[in-house]
A and B are shown apart, each in its own frame.
Chain A
Amino acid sequence: MADALEFLPILLQGCWTTVVVALCALTLSTVLGFAWALLRLSPSPWLRRPTIGFITVIRGIPIIVQLFYIYFVFPDIGITLSAFQAGFIGLGLAYSAYQAENFRAGIEAVDPGQIEAAQSLGMGYGRIMRRVILPQAIRTALPPYGNTMIMLLKDSSIASTITVSELTREGQLIASSTFKNMTVFTLVALLYLTMSLPLTYLTHRLEKRYGRK
């Protein structure tokens, strides 16, 4: 117990980094994922095909390898990033592929009749997107988005492998110097759980509200 109290401040600091990494990655993945989704649904094959290729590549490589690549290989081609930057950019890119599929599913679930109705009112592409498709697509995309947030929070622990001092990394450091594995990793597990519970609750609410029509 005394150990736990001693470790907690350091672990809480790790929690803070975890939250910041996860939030940065979430923002990046949301913006990019949305862009990929729009490009993937574009009528032009010049926009569509490269996007599909990119998504396929990203989804086919383990996130940990992507992080290694960005952190250890990019400096060789002149792009040097801090561990924190490499961590959230890597996670953000990796997750943008999942987000893209999620948003695409939401957009494609909108009844084509909606688009025809909007067209017959004289609306153009941008306005149809903003006023008709997106408000409806969001309802479909929100519940899976909640799940993605939880997964991203947990996967941010992968950033520990490239020395980002987030929760898992701090835990490992304390454990390897004190050998109090049980105390440390129980605390780490409980802290992740504590952070994910509000998200689980949120997702549950979203599913209830939008899941079934």
Chain B
Amino acid sequence: MITVRHLSKAFGAHRVLDDVSLEIRRGEVVCIIGASGSGKSTFLRCINGLESYDLGELIVDGYVVRKENRDIHAHRGQVGMVFQRFNLFPHRTSLENVMEGPIYVNGVPRATARAEAVALLTKVGLGDKLDAYPASLSGGQQQRVAIARSLAMKPKVMLFDEPTSALDPELVGDVLKVMQQLAKDGMTMVVVTHEMGFAREVADRVLFLDDGRILEQGPPEEVLRTPKHERTRDFLQRVIHAL
């Protein structure tokens, strides 16, 4: 589904991504962990063309992704992205947020879009918040609306950029539950996260990114329990102590 070959990117002298190669299968759930500044977010943003890269190749479902492409919009519409800070449209209700993409990008008739949006919001547990504006929702609720908004586009892949990092601890669970269900339904997911519990339970594979390189990857048990590299061990220790 996603093929990455020798992807590199630098901001000035700083190499954010350094020769990253990777293959993600359809339906696979990949969690990316690593310290801040290790290139996790940049990598994620390259996949839907929000960020450009200098060298290498990135192919999603046969499409060569480049931010500069004229038809990059069409690609973005097929790749869902969930942001750390939700980024819901504050001037629109939950329902309108979810209907926005299908109506104005995919040209779905309003009635159909509405029915699908109601179904999606119900699925993420917000069937009673259809007409609420984002400002009146908790962070966890906002993030679930954001997930529904992305799903409404019927994406091939869902990208999550630290989806629970801006949430109060007691709200994290609801969001993770929705993501876990999504994984069960067979969605291809790339998740940048610090939630090691989620990575252990849901991920098919965990990548440890360090200074723009994939230092280690494998099944969660292996990477999280018995990491091979010193730096992975250090990182995991620090994250677990922080909790």
Q: State the A residues within 8 Å of B (CB).
A: 111, 113-114, 116-124, 127, 131-132, 135-136, 139
Flag if B89 contacts A124 (CB, 8 Å). no
Flag if A117 contacts B79 (CB, 8 Å). no
Q: How far is the CA of A67 from the CA of B150 in the complex (A)?
A: 53
Q: How far is the CA of A131 from the CA of B100 in the complex (A)?
A: 9
Flag if A121 contacts B76 (CB, 8 Å). yes
Residues from chain B with a CB closer than 8 A to the CB of A131 are: 100, 104
Q: How far is the CA of A52 from the CA of B74 in the complex (A)?
A: 33
Residues from chain B with a CB closer than 8 A to the CB of A118 are: 89
The verdict on B83 contacting chain A, using a C-beta distance below 8 Å, is: yes
Q: How far is the CA of A38 from the CA of B78 in the complex (A)?
A: 29
New A-B contacts (9) at CB < 8 Å, excluding given A120-B48, A127-B104, A139-B91: A113-B83, A118-B89, A121-B150, A122-B75, A122-B76, A122-B106, A123-B73, A123-B105, A136-B91
Q: Are A121 and B87 also in contact (CB < 8 A) when A116-B50, A131-B100 are?
A: no
With a 10 A CB-CB cut-off, give which of A111, A116, A132 has the most chain B CB atoms: A116
Flag if A120 contacts B80 (CB, 8 Å). yes
The verdict on B81 contacting chain A, using a C-beta distance below 8 Å, is: yes
The secondary-structure label for the interface of chain A is: helix
Q: How far is the CA of A32 from the CA of B89 in the complex (A)?
A: 28
Flag if B89 contacts A114 (CB, 8 Å). yes
Interface range, B side: 20 to 34
Q: How far is the CA of A139 from the CA of B135 in the complex (A)?
A: 15
Residues from chain B with a CB closer than 8 A to the CB of A139 are: 91
Residues from chain B with a CB closer than 8 A to the CB of A123 are: 73, 101, 104-105
* Residue among B74, B89, B146 making CB contact with A122, cutoff 8 Å: B74
List residues of B (53-93) whose CB comes within 8 Å of A's CBs.
73-81, 83, 85, 87-91
Q: Name the distance in Å between A29's Cβ and chain B's nearest Cβ.
A: 26
With a 10 A CB-CB cut-off, give which of A119, A121, A127, A132 has the most chain B CB atoms: A121
Closest 8 CB pairs of A and B: A122-B77, A117-B87, A120-B81, A121-B101, A113-B87, A122-B105, A122-B76, A135-B91
The verdict on B153 contacting chain A, using a C-beta distance below 8 Å, is: yes
Q: How far is the CA of A118 from the CA of B90 in the complex (A)?
A: 12
Flag if B88 contacts A121 (CB, 8 Å). no
Q: Are A136 and B153 also in contact (CB < 8 A) when A122-B76, A123-B104 are?
A: no
Q: How far is the CA of A126 from the CA of B101 in the complex (A)?
A: 14
Q: How far is the CA of A127 from the CA of B101 in the complex (A)?
A: 11
The verdict on B149 contacting chain A, using a C-beta distance below 8 Å, is: yes
Q: How far is the CA of A122 from the CA of B50 in the complex (A)?
A: 11
